[in-house]
Chains A and B, each alone.
Chain A
Amino acid sequence: MAILLSQIVFIEEQAAGIGKSAKIVVHLHPAPPNKEPGPFQSSKNSYIKLSFKEHGQIEFYRRLSEEMTQRRWENMPVSQSLQTNRGPQPGRIRAVGIVGIERKLEEKRKETDKNISEAFEDLSKLMIKAKEMVELSKSIANKIKDKQGDITEDETIRFKSYLLSMGIANPVTRETYGSGTQYHMQLAKQLAGILQVPLEERGGIMSLTEVYCLVNRARGMELLSPEDLVNACKMLEALKLPLRLRVFDSGVMVIELQSHKEEEMVASALETVSEKGSLTSEEFAKLVGMSVLLAKERLLLAEKMGHLCRDDSVEGLRFYPNLFMTQS
Chain B
Amino acid sequence: MHRRGGGAGAIAKKKLAEAKYKERGTVLAEDQLAQMSKQLDMFKTNLEEFASKHKQEIRKNPEFRVQFQDMCATIGVDPLASGKGFWSEMLGVGDFYYELGVQIIEVCLALKHRNGGLITLEELHQQVLKGRGKFAQDVSQDDLIRAIKKLKALGTGFGIIPVGGTYLIQSVPAELNMDHTVVLQLAEKNGYVTVSEIKASLKWETERARQVLEHLLKEGLAWLDLQAPGEAHYWLPALFTDLYSQEITAEEAREALP
List residues of A whose CB falls within 8 A of some B CB: 9-10, 15-18, 22, 27, 54-55, 57-58, 62, 65-66, 68-69, 71, 74, 96-102, 105, 108-109, 115-116, 119-120, 122-124, 126-127, 129-134, 136-137, 139-140, 143-144, 147, 150-152, 154-155, 158-159, 162, 164-169, 176, 182-183, 185, 207-210, 212-214, 216-217, 221-230, 247, 250-253, 293, 312-314, 316-317
Contact = CB atoms under 8 A, between A and B. Distances in A.
A143 B84 contact: no
B102 A212 contact: yes
A150 to B, nearest CB: 6
B contact patch SS: helix
B150 A227 contact: yes
B84 A164 contact: yes
Contacts of A221: 95
A137 B20 CA distance: 23
A214 B101 CA distance: 12
Given A69-B165, A127-B71, A127-B75, A143 B150 contact: no
Interface in B80-105: 80-88, 94-95, 97-99, 101-102, 105
B148 to A, nearest CB: 10
A264 to B, nearest CB: 24
Contacts of A9: 178
Given A130-B43, A228-B82, A213 B28 contact: no
A115 B37 contact: no
A69 B162 contact: yes
Nearest to B87: A167
Contacts of B162: 62, 65-66, 68-69
Contacts of B172: 293
A125 to B, nearest CB: 8
B71 A22 contact: no
Interface residues of B, number: 90
A213 B257 contact: yes
Given A10-B178, A140-B29, A225-B88, A134 B76 contact: yes
B68 interface: yes
Contacts of A208: 154-156
Interface stretch (B47-55, B128-136, B244-252): B47-55
B35 interface: yes
B40 A162 contact: yes
A137 B43 CA distance: 14
Contact of A140 (B36, B66, B67, B71): B36
B229 interface: no
Contact of B154 (A65, A66, A229): A229
A98 B141 contact: yes
B253 interface: no
A210 B43 contact: no
Contact of A167 (B32, B37, B78): B78
B105 A213 contact: yes
A159 B21 CA distance: 18
Given A208-B156, A217-B102, A314-B217, A162 B82 contact: no
A225 B156 contact: no
B25 interface: no
B205 interface: no
Interface string B136-167: 00000100000000111111110000111111
B227 interface: no
